[in-house]
Amino acid sequence: MDGVISGAAWRALPPEAPLDMPVQSLRARPPRRTGGMPSRPSATWLRRLLVLGAALALTAYASHEMWLVLNSGRPTPLQAFVLVLFVVLFAWIALSFTSATCGFFRLLAGPARRLGIAAGGPLPRPGVKTALLMPSYNEEPARIMAGLQAIHESLAASGALDRFDIFILSDSTEPGAWIAEEAAYLELRRRTGDDALGEGGRIFYRRRPKNTERKAGNIADWVRRWGGAYPQMLVLDADSVMDADTILRLADAMERHPDVGLIQTLPIITGGNTLFARMQQFAGRVYGPLIAEGIAWWHGSEGNYWGHNAIIRTQAFAEAAGLPELPGRKPFGGHILSHDFVEAALLRRAGWAVHMVPWLRGSYEESPPSLMDLAVRDRRWCQGNLQHAAVLPARGLHWVSRLHLLTGIGSYITAPLWLIFLVFGVLLAIQARFIRPEYFPAGPSLFPEWPVVDPVRAMWVFIGTMGLLLAPKLMAWIALLFHGTDRRGCGGALRAFLSMLLETLVAGLLAPVTMLTQSVDVAAILLGRDSGWNAQRRDDGSVPFGQVVRLYWRHTLFGLIFGAAAWLVSPYLALWMSPVVLGLALAIPLAALTARRDVGLGLRRLGLLLTPEEAAPPLVLSRAKALTMEWRGIAGEADVARLFREPALLEAHRRMLPPPRRPRQDPFDPALLMGLAKLQEAQRLEEALCLPRAELSAVLADARGVARLAALAEGKAA
C-alpha cells in the first residue's frame, strides 16, 4: 500500500470547481429555462386523459355499486363513512390498474426508444465528462468498492473510461467505518491502477465532517465544490451496479437533449437469497417493467426521480434543486428526507424535462432481506413522504409533479385507511347484526325504510376490486410469454406462473402485517416521533426468534381479536376476512420464515422465484459478486486502531483531512474542543479510542487530534 501514496502528485480530490446551488423558495416561482421541451412525447395530454379518465370511470362505477350494496335509500353515518373510504381506496387501485394496462401494451409493442436511447446497437461515445457519485453512510466498504471496481472495469472495457470520474462521497459517522473506507479506497486505487496515474487519477474520496441534510446534502456539497467541472452526474447508491453500456447510453442521451434535466433508469433487484428478498426480486423483475412502462408512457417529460441509478444535468440541478428547510419541528419540519421526488418536481418547475427509460437494462440494486429490515427503511420513507404535504402547495409545480408527491403520501396513508375501512366494515356488520333498525323514522311516513345490504352485489364488488389488484400480475406474466429470454430466465412459462402464485399468496399474507406496521408508523409520525436515519442491512435477514416475537406479537394479538369479532358477527364474515386475519395471526412465523436464506435458496433449486439475471448473469453483476467475496477476504476490521498500525494508511489519512477551521469565520466545534481536551489527559491509545463517537470522529478529522493519537500509539503520552 506504500506505493499508493508515493509521490507529491498523489491526491484524493481534484481541484475544486465551485458551482452555485441556491436554496429554492417554495413560495415564489423561479425563472424557467427557455426553448421548450422538444423531448416531450407527442400527444401526452391524450395519454393522460386515457389513463386518468378510465380510472375515474372505474371509480364512479364501483362507487355506484358500493352505494347500492350499502343502502339504496338514505345511508347511516357509518355507511356514509365506509362509502367515502371505499371511493378513495378504489380510486387508488383503479389508477394503478389503468396505468399498468398501458404498461402491458407498451411491453407488447417493444422498447419505446424515447430520447433516441436504443436497447442495443453500437455504443455511443459521449463528448463531455460525467461524474459517478457513490454516497456512503456507514456502509460495508467491501460492497461499495466491489461495485465500483466492477463499474470501473466495465467502463475500461468499453474504451470510455476517460469520460468518467468516480467520487466516493462519505457521510459515515462511525469512526471505524470511516477508517475502513479510507483503507478500502486506497486498495481500490491500487487494484484499478488509478494510483499510478498521479494527478491524472479518476477515483476520488471525500468525507464530510458533518452530514448535514443527509444524502441530499451530501450530493449538494459535491455540486457546490466540484459541479462546475462536470456537465453531468450519475448518482448511485451503496448497492448500485451499472453496466458501461447503460451508462454510456444515458450520458449520450443527456448530451444530445439540452432540455432534459434528469433521466431515471429502472433498477432491477438482484442478489436476493432470503425468501423475502427473492419475492421482492421476482416481483420487481416480472411486474416492475410493466408498472414502469405504464407510468413512463403517460408521465412523459414529467417523470420522477428515485434517488439513484439516474443521470442528472449538473447545471440544471444546481440552479433548480437546492432543497429548502421545511418550517416547524421534526418530523414534518427540518431537512427533507425523501429528497428525490422533490428534486424532480423542482427540476420540472424550472422547465427541465424529467424522463424515465424503463426499457434500458443494465441498472441494478438490492433489496432489504427481511420484513423487519423493510419496516426499518419504510419508517424513514414514511416520514419523508409525509413531509411532502408541506411541498404540495409550492408555487409553480407541474400538476403531474404534484401527483407524484401525492402518490408518495398515498403509498403510506392508504395503510391506515385500509385498516380503518376493515375495522369500520366489521362495525357496520355488527350494527346490522345486533342493533335493532328504526323502520319508521321521526315524522310522518307512509312506508317503512327497510335497511338494505345486498350480499350478492357485495360479493361482486369484492371480486371486482380483487381483480383490479391482481390483474397487473397476470398481465405481467402474459407479457413475459412474448419475451423468450426473460421467460426462459424465469424458469419457463409454467414455473414463472407457479412463482407468481407463490409470490401472490405469501405477499397477500404479509400485506396486512405491513398495513398494520405502516399504520403505526403514520400514527407515530403524526404524534411527532422522528424516525432518524440508520444504515440498512443488505445481506443477512436472519433475526433471533425472540426479537421477531417482540416485534410482531401485537400484530398477532390484533389479528386474533379481529378474527374473533368477525366470527361473533357471522361465520361468513369471518370467512371473508380470513386473508387479513390469517396474515396477522401468523405474523411471527411468516416474518421468521421469509427471512431465512435456506428457504429462499431451496425454492431457487426448485426453479421458483427465478429471474433472468440469475439464469444468465450480466458480466458486470457476476464480476461485482466475485469481487465482493474478494474484498471481504482482504478487508480489515472496522477498527480505528488500525490507522496507527499501518503507516501508509495514517499518511493517506493525513492527506485526506479536511481544511482546518478558519479563525473568525468558521464556528467552533464543541465535539472537537471536548475531544482535544480529553486527549490531552489520556495516557494510552486504548483510553483515547473510548471517546464518544462524535468526539472521536471530530479529533480524527483534525490534524492536532491525529498527531496526539499517533503519539499515544507510539507510547509518547507526555
Closest CA to 506 of 599, 590, 592: 590
Query: What phi and psi values does residue 313 have, to the nearest 5 degrees?
Result: -75, 115
Position with higher pLDDT, 450 vs 220: 220
How large is the average pLDDT for residues 472-496? Answer: 96
Q: What is the DSSP letter of 326?
A: B
pLDDT, residue 717, reads: 57
> For 79, phi and psi rounded to 5 degrees?
-65, -40
Q: Is the pLDDT of residue 408 over 60?
A: yes
In the DSSP assignment, the letter for residue 389 is G
Task: Find out whether 374 and 538 touch, Cβ atoms under 8 Å.
Answer: no
Mean pLDDT check: name the lowest of 224-233, 275-284, 441-450.
441-450
Cα separations (Å) of 19 from 30, 31, 199, 315, 351?
Answer: 18, 18, 22, 8, 20
Strand 232-235 relative to strand 260-265, pairing = unpaired
Longest CA span, the chain = 103
Helices 703-713 and 670-681 meet at what angle, rounded to 10? 20
- Residue 284 is placed in which grid cell? 420487481
**pLDDT of amino acid 1:** 40
Give the pLDDT score at 430.
73
* Mean pLDDT score, 178-200: 90
pLDDT(443) > 80: no
Mean pLDDT value of segment 282-294: 97
Give me the mean pLDDT over the 24-42 stretch. 91
Report the DSSP pairing between strands 363-365 and 241-242. Answer: antiparallel
In DSSP terms, which residues pair with 264 in a beta bridge?
310, 356
Task: Tell which residue, 260, 257, 255, has the closest CA to residue 316.
Answer: 260
What pLDDT sits at residue 398? 97
Residue 459 has pLDDT above 70, yes or no: yes
**Amino acid letter for position 630:** E
- The arithmetic mean of pLDDT across residues 160-181, rounded, is 95
Render pLDDT for 534-563 as a digit per residue (tens, 0 to 9): 556 555 557 889 999 999 999 999 999 999
pLDDT of residue 446: 46
Nearest to 275 by CA among 22, 567, 596: 596
| Average pLDDT of span 386-399 | 95
Find the mean pLDDT for residues 176-200. Answer: 90
Q: Could you give the CA distance from residue 375 to residue 381 in angstroms, rounded to a whole number?
A: 10
CA distances 318 to 22, 32, 170, 312, 696, Å, are 7, 14, 20, 10, 33
- Distance between CA atoms of residues 495 and 557, nearest Å: 36
Q: What is the pLDDT of residue 538?
A: 55
Q: Which residue has the higher pLDDT, 283 or 70?
A: 283
Rounded average pLDDT over 377-396: 93
* Whole-number pLDDT of residue 662: 86
Determine the average pLDDT of the residues in 85-100.
96
Average pLDDT on 99-121 reads 90
Q: What is the mean pLDDT of residues 286-291?
A: 97
Helix, strand and coil in the chain, % to nearest 5: 60, 5, 35
Give the pLDDT score at 358. Answer: 95
205 DSSP 8-state letter: E
CA 569, CA 647: separation in Å to the nearest integer?
75
Question: 542-562 in b/e burial notation, b at 16+ Cβ within 10 A?
Answer: ebeeeebeebbeebbebbeeb
What is the pLDDT, as a whole number, of residue 78? 81
Find out whether the peptide bond into 331 is cis, omega within 30 degrees of 0: yes
Give DSSP secondary structure letters for 589-651: HHHHHHT-HHHHHHHHHTT-S--HHHHS--HHHHHHHHHHHHHHHH---S-GGGGGT-HHHHH
Cβ distance 619 to 154 under 8 Å?
Answer: yes
Mean pLDDT computed over 4-19: 76
Instruction: Summarize the confidence of residues 511-517 as an average pLDDT.
Output: 95
Per-residue confidence (pLDDT) for residue 441, from 0 to 100: 53
What letter represents residue 509's amino acid?
L
**Amino acid 448: pLDDT:** 45
pLDDT 10s digits, 579-636: 899 999 999 999 999 999 999 999 999 999 999 999 899 999 999 999 999 999 887 7
Grade residue 400 by pLDDT with cuts at 50, 70 and 90. Answer: very high
Q: Where are the alpha helices (DSSP H) in 7-43?
A: none
Q: Residue range 52-81: average pLDDT?
A: 86
pTM score:
0.93
The residue among 118 and 510 whose pLDDT is bigger is 510
